[in-house]
Structure 1
Amino acid sequence: MPPVTTFIWVAVAVVAIGLYLSWTAGRLDRLHARIDAARAALDAQLLRRASVAQELATSGVLDPAASIVLYQSAHAARQAEDEHREVAESELSQALRAVFAEPDAVEAVLAAPGGEETVGELTQAVRRVPMARRFHNDAVRAARAVRRHRVVRWFRLAGHAPFPLAFEMDDEPPMAFTADGAAGH
């Protein structure tokens, strides 16, 4: 084989490998951007849920014990540092389930002025958190799958981006705010 033909084949192989590496790095970059967007959406939904819960706890509609439990859990969820956020959000989910385990609590909120609006907001918030968390964790799973490939590790295509972590929390809504429950038409 003449040296010119060998050179052309080597050049074609180098260009093909370069294009593949560039495409993979771009894909990984898009996945990291998707994770960032999904995390921002999750944070917004978690903040909304905690804000509505705090507002409800301070409204005077619930009994004092339920108000204190709900307020403390919501406040802790809003103030939690990243490393403690999953636990704090899980505790808020548990507090919401405990407070709204009794149908009387939902009825008391609905009977109060602006109660239907508050229940509607809380229903939307507790329903959107699991969806937002699922979108985030799906994006994390996709990025992890790409980052596990040898080529990505060998050529360090992820750069200095931190390894993506899933957000694991108890996001089970109170029965009263699910599709099977009475609230949130």
Structure 2
Amino acid sequence: MPGMWWVVGATVVVALVVAYLIWTAGRVERLQSRAQSAARALDAHLLRRAAAAAVLAERRYGVELYAAARIALDARPEEREAAENDLTRQLRAVRLDPTDPDCEAVIAASRRLALARQVHTDLVRDARSARSRPLVRLLRMGRGSSWPRYFDIDDPTLSVPAADVPAG
């Protein structure tokens, strides 16, 4: 009888270890998948902002802003961060009127981009943290996916001048 309790105890411990490993592998996979989804969402928001900036430049602000927007739209992955940072600098250099629909489209796209960038950064941080744990590295749980990568750009939020309100 005493030997039987040892077998039951060992079986329970093995079952708990296996359950933990399965849970950990699933968590790593979920975080990796969420980081990839966030990267796709970030890319979509980058494209929307660049397209809105191109429309705005065609109608009002001219060549430099239009060129920056086109470069951002056409950039290869390795050039994307620099192109987006240049577009942000160009957008900050122009005076955006929040009552103008074209300007409002760029301002709104920039706000959504800032949120998407923050979500992406948080999810990449979480995925990298999970993948860098010793047990995960030892068992190579994340080997089926590429290492999640940060998208390092300046804060895309645009400051909009306050409306001139008469004192009174």
TM-score (norm: length of structure 2): 0.88
Tell me how far 1:45 sits from its aligned partner: 1.0
In the TM superposition, what are the counterparts of 1:1-185 in structure 2 within 5 Å? Answer: 2-59=2-59, 61-62=60-61, 67-100=62-95, 106=96, 116-176=100-160, 181-182=162-163
Q: CA RMSD in A?
A: 1.9
Distance 1:43 1:181, change over 3 A: farther
Report if aligned partners of 2:36, 2:148 keep a CA contact under 8 Å in 1: no
Q: CA deviation at 1:20?
A: 0.3
- Gaps of at least 5 residues in structure 1 are 101-105, 111-115
Q: Is the 8 A contact 2:28 2:127 kept in 1?
A: yes
Note the C-alpha offset of 1:140. Answer: 0.6
Aligned equivalents of 1:12 and 1:26: distance in 2? 21
Contact 1:96 1:173 in 2 (8 A): no
Q: Which runs of 4+ in 1 moved over 3 A?
A: none
Give TM-score scaled by structure 1 length: 0.80
Q: What 5-or-longer segments of structure 2 have no aligned partner?
A: 164-168
Identity %: 38
Aligned residues: 163
- Alignment deviations for residues 78-127 of structure 1 (CA, whole Å, 9 cap, x no partner): 11111111111001000111123xxxxx45x96xxxxx221221110111
CA shift at 1:5, angstroms?
2.6
Opposite residue 133 of structure 1, the aligned amino acid is R
- Structure 2 distance, partners of 1:47, 1:181, is 27
